Amino acid sequence: MADAQRYESVDVEAADGLIQSKGYTLLDVRTPEEFQVGHAPGALNIPFMVQGPNGRTHNQQFMDQVRSAFPDPSEAKLCVACGGGTRGTSAATAIAEAGYSSITCMPGGMKAWAASGLPTTAEESGKL
């Protein structure tokens, strides 16, 4: 990657602190199917990849959905997470390149979140 990283990587404890005390929203970019199995309470699901007939493909509406949920890039505070880190870093890069500046990413994703003992839920709220 030629450009400098435009978001901050944080561990799950730091991410939880940003969510709990700094007004960040956990943006879960996993597929809706993964999100339904379990996610952080209060997380918003906007999938970066979607399940297609030939496997996962890029969600062509991803940035439109992000802009719809967070219309003011200067006001949005997002902590991006996926399953293990790969989709999350790609999504965080795309969001930062679209002009959003308060972006963090959890490299370990929801696997690290759950492994650390932080709460998860399977409730239906949070799906876009």
Structure-block tokens of residue 70: 């967070």
Q: What size, in residues, is the chain?
A: 128
pTM for the whole structure = 0.91
Angle at 29 between CA 70 and CA 6, to 5 degrees: 65
Residue 26 has pLDDT above 80, yes or no: yes
Residue 125 lies in a domain: no
Per the listing, tokens 């809706």 go with 32
- Whether 105 sits among the annotated catalytic residues: the reply is no
Among 66, 82, 91, 103, the one annotated catalytic: 82
Average pLDDT over residues 27-38: 95
Domain count, the chain: 1
| CATH (domain of 88) | 3.40.250.10
For 28, the domain range is: 8-115
Q: What percent of the chain has pLDDT over 90?
A: 82
